[in-house]
Structure 1
Amino acid sequence: MSARAWVFCDLSVSRDFPLDQVHLIKKLGFDTIAINTYVEEPSDEPKKKKKKAEDRKDFLPPPLEIPVEVSSMMNVLQRVTFEYSDANVAHKMNQSENLKKYDIVAVVPKTLQAFQHACASTDIDMISFEPEGRIPFKIHRKMYSQAVNKGIFFEIMYSPAIRDSTSRKNIISNAHLYHVIGDSKNIIITSGAESPMHVRNVHDIINLGFLLGLNSNQSMDVVRNNPRKLILKAESRRCGKHYLVITKNK
């Protein structure tokens, strides 16, 4: 980590976002972004005899290469988000060498079994759901609390709400569900932006928090304190419970 400020964060900017326009995100008040690589769950294929080289093929792509002019402008982290329906897929993902190259690991559980596994996991930092739809199963308070106690955060992505009215209703519904079952603890709001048109400034996001059932402190936390806690938690996961970061002042 650099000595640069880490005040306001957008921890999901699409891998497809034009990097030559990242400066526009900075103008909107953000100091830190995470470039998100999204990996869909692999489809079931009939078992075939494969060559050893194919068996060793990495499940996850490597992170996007970030130009120096972008990384010198603001803090840029690498995030991977992968879908899964059962623990076997998650285990295979964790065997990936490329996984170690990412700063933040997020998952999209597709089933209740996968969600239960995610809430008990020590290998992830964030749980997300497809913003275009409602959560596809019932979440219990006990599972939510388990995730919070392990330092796992829940993501609310707002850019689909800009593009589609149905997504907007579902995002608001999911956010209020988090409020009912978990008092909106460990919530992070991200853009998921694919273009500069999908990003809103910090103050707009704070105001959005009230619409999503958050109080004034929580609305500030979702773009400042909670992302910072997640980043530190991710660092401890990668480096061990006790670690020391030394930065050299220029």
Structure 2
Amino acid sequence: MLCDLNVPWPCSTYNTQPTQQQLEVLKNTIVTLYSLGYTHQAINFSINENVRIPVGTPDLINPINIAYLKSELVPRFPKLKLFTRLTIIVSDPSKLQGLAKIQNHFDVLAVQPVNEKALQLCTTNLDIDLVSFNLGSKLPFFLKHKTIGSAIDKGIKFEVCYSTVVSGSIGYANVGDSTNVQLIKKNFFNNVLQLIRASRSKGIVVSSGAVQPLQARNGEDILTLLKTLGLDNSRAKSCITLNAERALISGRLRIKSYKQTVIAGNDSDEVLVEKKDPSKPDTLAYKKRLGDSSSGRLLKKQKRSKD
């Protein structure tokens, strides 16, 4: 399956609500991505670290009206899966509000560090799924393999949004002239090459970041872009399939499981018998070997009769 973990929500504050026109553009973008093969999409709500999150009212923590989007789109596209994501732009991690109170309200949790200190502290101390960068401007710090590699070992993925390089005239409407457009594209390629070098081509997730339907691209176009940047076919394909899927599963497990613990089953030949052990009066049950149980003796008897 193809996953797009960055479809921006039209608003970036809690005080504003999206207009009907903005919601229509968002729905058209989602439908366009779905037609290109992206069945799993995450609606991204980006805020600054100084924005006050209404922790006291849990119903208002997640402003994304995901129920409305599902009611409008899922009946027409049954295979479409929509999720929510929170991205916090971080310059000083000490100013971050307690993530434990808000992380269960979003399926994916991401940060966008603006300096090296924020990157190190976020990847070390915070329970996050994604790290994103503003690839349109030159990074103010050097990406070190030790920092990026340790984050990848923890399961944190690093995101690349290709809308910066394919926006066209709509995306660059506020830039001004063609010189700045070329500079944005140059910064994008330099930053992505630096991320590929620091990560050793591992743990990279490619998302659209599309605010318009025309900014969406299919998987083949993304593979061509990544191969141009030096990735081989298998690692380029994992950027839009396996790595994105793992980041999404990691975020979902944070909500649906206790400390990401699951029960795989009991592979031993012992069964739990609800019978009190006379030597252990305080126990409610004790383990008994399968061969000593009634079902085990019956299996042995049937085996002898067949022989």
- How far off its partner does 1:122 sit? 4.7
The answer to whether residue 10 in structure 2 is matched with residue 13 in structure 1 is no
> Equivalent residue for 1:78?
84
Per the alignment, do residues 56 and 170 of structure 1 end up closer, same or farther by CA in structure 2, a change over 3 Å counting? same
- How far off its partner does 1:19 sit? 3.6
Tell me, in whole angstroms, the C-alpha distance in 2 between the residues paired with 1:157 and 1:81: 13
> Equivalent residue for 2:72?
69
> Equivalent residue for 1:148?
152
Gaps of 5+ in 2: 11-21, 168-180, 264-307
Q: Which amino acid aligns with 2:89?
A: E
- How far off its partner does 1:56 sit? 5.1
Tell me, in whole angstroms, the C-alpha distance in 2 between the residues paired with 1:95 and 1:176: 34
| Cα deviations by residue, 1:92-126 (Å, 9 ceiling, x for unpaired) | 151544x4210000101122111101221351001
Per the alignment, do residues 187 and 136 of structure 1 end up closer, same or farther by CA in structure 2, a change over 3 Å counting? same
Match of residue 87, structure 1, among 93, 111, 134: 93
Give the alignment's TM-score, normalised by structure 2. Answer: 0.68
The answer to whether residue 187 in structure 2 is matched with residue 170 in structure 1 is yes
Q: Would you say the 8 A contact 2:55–2:61 is kept in 1? A: no
Per the alignment, do residues 55 and 222 of structure 1 end up closer, same or farther by CA in structure 2, a change over 3 Å counting? closer
Q: Would you say the 8 A contact 1:186–1:226 is kept in 2? A: yes
Kindly report the root-mean-square deviation, in angstroms, between the aligned alpha carbons of the 2 structures. Answer: 2.3
Instruction: Tell me the SS of whatever aligns to 2:125.
Output: coil
Tell me, in whole angstroms, the C-alpha distance in 2 between the residues paired with 1:222 and 1:241: 23
Match of residue 207, structure 1, among 224, 235, 238: 224
- How far off its partner does 1:57 sit? 7.6
| Cα deviations by residue, 1:179-216 (Å, 9 ceiling, x for unpaired) | 22221210011110101011111111111111232111
Q: Which amino acid aligns with 1:20?
A: K
The answer to whether residue 57 in structure 2 is matched with residue 27 in structure 1 is no
Instruction: Indicate the percent of aligned positions where both proteins have the same amino acid.
Output: 27
Instruction: Tell me the SS of whatever aligns to 2:110.
Output: strand
Larger Rg: 2
Q: Would you say the 8 A contact 1:63–1:101 is kept in 2? A: no
Q: Would you say the 8 A contact 1:144–1:182 is kept in 2? A: yes
Match of residue 242, structure 1, among 242, 261, 279: 261
Instruction: Tell me the SS of whatever aligns to 1:31.
Output: strand
Q: Which amino acid aligns with 2:221?
A: D
- Count of aligned positions: 226
Tell me, in whole angstroms, the C-alpha distance in 1 between the residues paired with 2:183 and 2:207: 18
> Equivalent residue for 1:193?
210
